[in-house]
Amino acid sequence: MKIAIAQIRVLSENCKQNFETMKSYIELALGQKANLIVFPEMSLPGYFNGDIWEQNSFLRECEFYNNKISELSKEIDIIFGSVGIDWKRKNEDGRVRKYNAVFHAQNGHFQINKKSNYPFWIKALMPNYKEFDDSRYFFDLRKLAFERRCKVIDLYEPISLKVEKKKIKVGVTVCEDGWSQDYDISPFKIYSSRYKHDFFVNLSCSPFTRGKQEKRENIFSKECVKNKIQIFYVNCVGIQNIGKTVFGFDGSSSFYNSVGDVIHLCGFFTEKLSVIDFDFAKKDVINNEKIKCLKTVSLVEETQKSLEYIIQKCLEEWKINRVVIGASGGIDSALSAVIFSRILGPENVYLVNMPSKFNSHLTINAAKKLAENLGCPYASVGIEESINLSVEQLENLKFINAAVQPQMTKLVFENIQARDRGGRILAALAQSLGAVFSCNANKTELSVGYSTLYGDQAGFLCPLADLWKHDVYSLAYFYNEIIYKMPVIPRETLDVIPSAELSAEQNVLENKGDPLIYNYHDFLFRSWVEHWERKTPEDCLNAYVVGTLENMIGCEKGLVRKLFPTVQDFIRDLERWWLNFVESGVIKRMQAPPVIAISPRAYGFDLREHIRKVVFTHTYMNLKKKLID
Amino acid sequence: MKIAIAQIRVLSENCKQNFETMKSYIELALGQKANLIVFPEMSLPGYFNGDIWEQNSFLRECEFYNNKISELSKEIDIIFGSVGIDWKRKNEDGRVRKYNAVFHAQNGHFQINKKSNYPFWIKALMPNYKEFDDSRYFFDLRKLAFERRCKVIDLYEPISLKVEKKKIKVGVTVCEDGWSQDYDISPFKIYSSRYKHDFFVNLSCSPFTRGKQEKRENIFSKECVKNKIQIFYVNCVGIQNIGKTVFGFDGSSSFYNSVGDVIHLCGFFTEKLSVIDFDFAKKDVINNEKIKCLKTVSLVEETQKSLEYIIQKCLEEWKINRVVIGASGGIDSALSAVIFSRILGPENVYLVNMPSKFNSHLTINAAKKLAENLGCPYASVGIEESINLSVEQLENLKFINAAVQPQMTKLVFENIQARDRGGRILAALAQSLGAVFSCNANKTELSVGYSTLYGDQAGFLCPLADLWKHDVYSLAYFYNEIIYKMPVIPRETLDVIPSAELSAEQNVLENKGDPLIYNYHDFLFRSWVEHWERKTPEDCLNAYVVGTLENMIGCEKGLVRKLFPTVQDFIRDLERWWLNFVESGVIKRMQAPPVIAISPRAYGFDLREHIRKVVFTHTYMNLKKKLID
């Protein structure tokens, strides 16, 4: 039997375009005499569609194209993911009943699941964490079982195919159904315990994050071995966003056999139709293609590949072909320039340096050199005159009938500079070039709001916002050493101390820079955001006391005592940055541009935050009191 | 029996402060010899806490203060809402098991629910729509029943009290449990069918939206009549936010008897302890206080009261006591100035007018007059010099190695002006005054991105972003006529055509203003956002064709044909604004400041949006083709 695995690029909301893609893949599969083609979860309507699931006209559009797919099944069985609609029943929000469903089209018609009596198979397990909001939109198989006062298994039967007069039973699961370790049922287990399946399919729309492929293979392999089953795992590629966070989908569609082997079928971040022979006797597939998989590349290469893929698709879908970058001579804007140049061609990446009297020749020259190395258009425009005007206007401004008058402070002056660059020059410049401009904030800065709103925090996208500062350096070195094999990012940029250069206190020539100690704070902040059990000052202070902090956060051994000779020093730093993380950090993130997600936990709408004031736990306060008194 | 209903102000995340509040209410109730005190849902930890539910140190903090509440129950029974934690079990995301729960403390200890064997009662119905994400954080009673392979009712029993040797049975429900019309179980129904209750409590943390109180009373009255029960509905006050949207809680705690009467106990938007006598024979309460309720005030008064309450609490919790407003002489900034003046005192609301050559004397004078009328500090600072400098710099800027050079267009020039005011002056000015500045965008503008990012779209908060332009006018008239009984908002401001005054084409003296036709577009856009079945161009064009559009969107009769003599005109306008709503509107909203929610559907994270390009449905395209050909 020939099975076609269609690792297609799915667009959110665009049923018509997804239908066209699916149609062309079906034709390809027919050309290769496939008996069955399998598409990913929600391949027709897209998955991260926000609240447009509430628009009935969108649901009718989905139904229309669902039906058009079924018409294509005259010579091939088609299994695909889409929304299943029951217009007569309600979701728990009172709107039309929607299921995250799998359709099976055969001989021009949808097959009925005789147990549920729907023309589709229903996802049982609903992820409601991180970027996922399945229960917001979809009614699940467990709820349906509850409603019908029956068991989940009673609503399930395998999909039936007939291939060369042999009856084939295909087990159906959708994405999270395969990740059942924290749920009270395992669909693979219960389905395979009642029915004998020839193989299972798992239709996924599973976003990429670094290191996920390893976990995925681990989980699906184990299910196969445990339940003595075979699984075709079919994931999509492309990007979809949840407003403030953009996710890539890496595909990595694979076949898992019952002894735990993984046969990679379609590769990562690439559209592909893979037609393979399934051997019923061996319950295995024959595939001699050497497919590269994410598990086998280094972390920095995974970062480079995923970042470039996601940003490229972003620009394509948002119809952006020219980007302006404020090139400071520092590492973040340089890395940003490299990435955009690789995607759009350097001729479409406009670098502009905007010096004030605080910018050193070192960084100014580095910015220019970067443009030369990459071949980007380059310009320089000073901000001195404009910031002087702003300062003068502010100092001369007198409110009548007022108790206080404006006071120019160091911080006000620094922010004026940052906003002059971002909000005044870059925004106008980008628009006057028919372009957009990029926000080059990294995750470390974004964590603690070390940026100016409407200044360096502005832009159409934060391409680097899911990279810690040390990731930024690793990737920069990777481009120089491995990709370009020459220092396109100038040595000065790599060697200079990271600095905002907004005052004499941030003079890089005197080796004065940011207040962040990246080899420590990167790891501390990461424990607050990305750790599965998210750490807080209570956890950090506890770990500091018992000497396990470095181990807990994963930074260099011996660093903490070196940086903070006394407990007072440690606490002062901890509270300073926690305050920034919780208070101004959140406020700035709420108005920050969308973030490209590649880590296990990205800002935007993956991590859901609320505006608040710091509240330390009583345990923290007691411990602190004990340590300081 | 004396029952104390504690309509307290709940702070998100702040267990310690909520504990102190609860403690003081318990003491008050003891002073009034109450037998029982009832607090709202999640009164101890707060409800909209974002993903801090993932911090185990926060959970331990909740447990610590839960236990401290139980210690206060030696002379009074305490029922309160908090998180119930089962450290040995997991939520479906793999994290610690958490329940949205009700605790009953008696004689210094928590009582055990013998059916579930937990020291708390568990919420059964989980809202997962609009601002609610209950399933993201909490395991519910239905899932627990599924896990234990039993029925929901088998995990339930009433709370038992002893008052004057009489055994009292209290039914326990939490917020959504009472709004069961779209769920497959009704807790009131199944609980009351198995057990005889003396009365029910419903502990809520139910955000205010306009018109909600009517629905609430309707639903709870019906439950009482239908099931022959009595309910104490206990809701909190205060504000809580979900990051980009701030909600107020109106309290409106009430007693519902079994014949459908509503006895208002605590009023709206006010902290109050109401101690009432429950008469077991009559199954009713005696309450002679005249409590004003939201249902009885006009829509505009409801808007005024709720907006002032929510913004006041926002400023208080965020520790803001001075606000800068860019006063243009237009209606939005004027209304904003009035509201902030009422909350902070006019002496703390700094109005600054920032004219260019396009601003008329009419609006400039109106801004000054507003400041005089209110008694606000006032200043004027021109932007002419600065925008000239920006234009000059941009025009002289030449990129080397570039295919295109910056082109100054009308739109670029308009946006430079807007950003000069918001991103350059207001941001610096606010900071130099130790203040924040306000974004005065209304919902109509925000819907279609009729604003400039980092310009008039900037600020710490959008106080008016949930008001359509006609709501802005209604509220402005209400302040002048009813509250101040004098034109604090100058007549000129009310009479002038709404205009951004960014070009000669927007000259108000020639009656040229915004491209929006507010008496139509307000209603059109509302149908896209706030209607229960959210409308799209397909619905609108269909309704236009059959002549029901005005009825559907709720605008003035006869308006559509007057505005759009031909179907081409209608479609051109429809597509223009839908494009803005879906594309640039979303992009701008992603970076907009937080919104104060008062409508049934607010921007921010109430309406969840994704960045996208317009896709029209095939039905729309076919209809359009038919109409235009």
Summarize pLDDT for B116-144 with one digit per residue, the tens.
999 999 999 999 999 999 999 999 999 99
In whole angstroms, what is the distance from residue B309 CA to residue B503 CA? 37
pLDDT tens, position by position, A496-510: 999 999 999 999 999
Which whole-number Å values give the CA distances from B159 to A222, A379, B156, B196, in the listed order? 45, 74, 9, 11
Residue type, B76: I
CA-based end-to-end distance of chain A: 75
pLDDT tens, position by position, A181-190: 999 999 999 9
Q: Alpha-carbon Rg of chain B, whole angstroms?
A: 27
> A122, A99 in Cβ contact below 8 A?
yes
A positions 345-374 inside 8 Å of B (CB)? 347, 350, 352, 371
- Tell me which residue has tokens 């609430």: B216
In whole angstroms, what is the distance from residue B123 CA to residue B499 CA? 50
In whole angstroms, what is the distance from residue B623 CA to residue A447 CA? 49
Q: What is the pLDDT of residue A143?
A: 95
Which whole-number Å values give the CA distances from B317 to B12, B52, B239, B314, in the listed order? 10, 18, 9, 5
Beta pairing partners, B323: B349, B436
Q: Which residues of A474-493 are buried (b: 16+ CB within 10 A; e: fewer)?
A: bbbebbbeeeeeebbbbebb
A178 token code pair: 């395969």
> A466, A597 in Cβ contact below 8 A?
yes
The residue-averaged pLDDT of B4-30 equals 98
Which whole-number Å values give the CA distances from A389 to A294, A397, B324, B383, B388, in the listed order? 53, 12, 20, 10, 12
pLDDT tens, position by position, B498-539: 999 999 999 999 999 999 999 999 999 999 999 999 999 999
The residue-averaged pLDDT of A128-151 equals 96
CA torsion sign for B268, B269, B274, B278 is positive
Residue B220: is it exposed, middle or buried by C-beta count within 10 angstroms (0-12/13-18/19+)? buried
Selecting from A393, A432, A460 the residue whose C-beta is nearest the C-beta of B409 gives A432
Cβ atoms < 10 Å from Cβ of A67: 13
In three-state secondary structure terms, B583 is: coil
Domains in chain A (CATH in brackets) are: 2-296 (3.60.110.10), 299-514 (3.40.50.620), 517-629 (no CATH)
On the question of pLDDT at A288 being above 80, the answer is no
In whole angstroms, what is the distance from residue A529 CA to residue A523 CA? 10
On the question of pLDDT at A138 being above 80, the answer is yes
On the question of pLDDT at B294 being above 90, the answer is no
Beta pairing partners, B96: B90
CA-based end-to-end distance of chain B: 75
* Residues A54, B533: C-beta atoms closer than 8 Å: yes
In whole angstroms, what is the distance from residue A606 CA to residue A321 CA? 27
In three-state secondary structure terms, A206 is: coil
Q: What is the pLDDT of residue A88?
A: 97
Q: What is the pLDDT of residue B290?
A: 79
Q: How many CA atoms lie within 13 A of B481 on its CB side?
A: 10
In whole angstroms, what is the distance from residue A490 CA to residue A266 CA? 37
Q: What is the pLDDT of residue B565?
A: 94
Position B286 confidence tier, pLDDT thresholds 50, 70, 90: confident
Tell me how close the Cα of A7 comes to any Cα of chain B, in angstroms.
22
Instruction: Name the percent of chain B lying above pLDDT 90.
Output: 97
* Residues A51, B242: C-beta atoms closer than 8 Å: no
Q: Measured between CB atoms, does A594 come within 8 Å of chain B?
A: yes
Choose among A148, A94, A97: nearest CA to B127: A94
Residue in A closest to B615 by C-alpha = A14
DSSP letters along B388-430, please? HHHHHHHHH---BT-S------HHHHHHHHHHIIIIIIIHHHH
B positions 479-538 inside 8 Å of A (CB)? 532-536, 538
Q: Which residues of B14-47 are buried (b: 16+ CB within 10 A; e: fewer)?
A: bbbebbebbeebbeebeeeebbbbbbbbbbbbbb
Choose among B435, B459, B438: nearest CA to B321: B435
Position A629 confidence tier, pLDDT thresholds 50, 70, 90: confident
In three-state secondary structure terms, A538 is: helix
A positions 32-51 inside 8 Å of B (CB)? 48-51
Q: Measured between CB atoms, does B420 come within 8 Å of chain A?
A: yes
**List of residues 6+ apart from B532 with CB closer than 8 A:** A94, A95
The mean predicted confidence, pLDDT, of chain A is 97
Q: What is the pLDDT of residue A286?
A: 80
Q: Which helix (H) or strand (E) holds B254?
A: strand B254-256
In whole angstroms, what is the distance from residue B429 CA to residue B326 CA? 10
B458 token code pair: 């900037």
> A292, A265 in Cβ contact below 8 A?
no
Beta pairing partners, A262: A256
Q: What is the pLDDT of residue B629?
A: 83
In three-state secondary structure terms, A584 is: helix
The residue-averaged pLDDT of B247-266 equals 95
The residue-averaged pLDDT of B148-153 equals 95
The residue-averaged pLDDT of A405-425 equals 97
Which residues does chain A have within 8 Å of residue B95's beta carbon, measured at their own beta carbons?
A: 532-533
* Residues A93, B182: C-beta atoms closer than 8 Å: yes
* Residues B432, A394: C-beta atoms closer than 8 Å: yes
Phi then psi for B160, rounded to 5 degrees? -105, 130
What is the pairing mode between strands B272-279 and B245-250? Answer: unpaired
Position A52 confidence tier, pLDDT thresholds 50, 70, 90: very high
On the question of pLDDT at A421 being above 80, the answer is yes
CA torsion sign for B552, B555, B561, B564 is negative
What is the pairing mode between strands A378-380 and A349-353? Answer: parallel
pLDDT tens, position by position, B201-231: 999 999 999 999 999 999 999 999 999 999 9
CA B472 to chain centre: 17
* Residues A409, B402: C-beta atoms closer than 8 Å: no
On the question of pLDDT at A164 being above 90, the answer is no
Which residues does chain B have within 8 Å of residue A48's beta carbon, measured at their own beta carbons?
A: 610
Which whole-number Å values give the CA distances from A265 to A3, A178, A275, A380, in the listed order? 11, 18, 9, 49
Tell me how close the Cα of B257 comes to any Cα of chain A, in angstroms.
27
Q: Measured between CB atoms, does B125 come within 8 Å of chain A?
A: yes
Tell me how close the Cα of B472 comes to any Cα of chain A, in angstroms.
24
Selecting from B184, B406, B618 the residue whose C-beta is nearest the C-beta of A64 gives B618
Choose among B391, B465, B451, B454: nearest CA to B427: B454
> Per mean pLDDT, which range of A235-239, B286-290, B555-559 is the poorest?
B286-290
pLDDT tens, position by position, A187-234: 999 999 999 999 999 999 999 999 999 999 999 999 999 999 999 999
DSSP A594: P
B358 token code pair: 């396009």
Residue type, B455: G
What is the pairing mode between strands B199-204 and B245-250? Answer: unpaired
| CA-angle at B319, arms to B318 and B325, nearest 5° | 85
On the question of pLDDT at A289 being above 90, the answer is no
* Residues A432, B408: C-beta atoms closer than 8 Å: yes
In three-state secondary structure terms, A494 is: helix
In whole angstroms, what is the distance from residue B482 CA to residue B479 CA? 6
pLDDT tens, position by position, A357-384: 999 999 999 999 999 999 999 999 999 9
On the question of pLDDT at B164 being above 90, the answer is no
In whole angstroms, what is the distance from residue A94 CA to residue B183 CA? 8
* Residues A610, B48: C-beta atoms closer than 8 Å: yes
In whole angstroms, what is the distance from residue A290 CA to residue B242 CA? 47
* Residues B536, A55: C-beta atoms closer than 8 Å: yes
Residue A617: is it exposed, middle or buried by C-beta count within 10 angstroms (0-12/13-18/19+)? buried
DSSP letters along A454-490, please? TTTT-SS-BTTTTS-HHHHHHHHHHIIIIISSS-SS-
Choose among A437, A420, A433, A412: nearest CA to A327: A437
The residue-averaged pLDDT of A25-41 equals 98
Residue type, A257: N
On the question of pLDDT at B391 being above 80, the answer is yes
The mean predicted confidence, pLDDT, of chain B is 97
Choose among A241, A243, A247, A212: nearest CA to A233: A212
* Residues A394, B428: C-beta atoms closer than 8 Å: yes
Q: What is the pLDDT of residue B589?
A: 98
Q: Alpha-carbon Rg of chain A, whole angstroms?
A: 27
Q: What is the ipTM score, two decimals? A: 0.97
A253 token code pair: 């569609």
Q: What is the pLDDT of residue B94?
A: 95
Provide the strand spans (E) within B39-190: 77-90, 96-106, 109-110, 121-122, 159-163, 166-174
* Residues A129, B136: C-beta atoms closer than 8 Å: yes
Residue A324: is it exposed, middle or buried by C-beta count within 10 angstroms (0-12/13-18/19+)? buried
Q: What is the pLDDT of residue B295?
A: 76
What is the pairing mode between strands B245-250 and B237-241? Answer: antiparallel
What is the pairing mode between strands A262-264 and A254-256? Answer: antiparallel
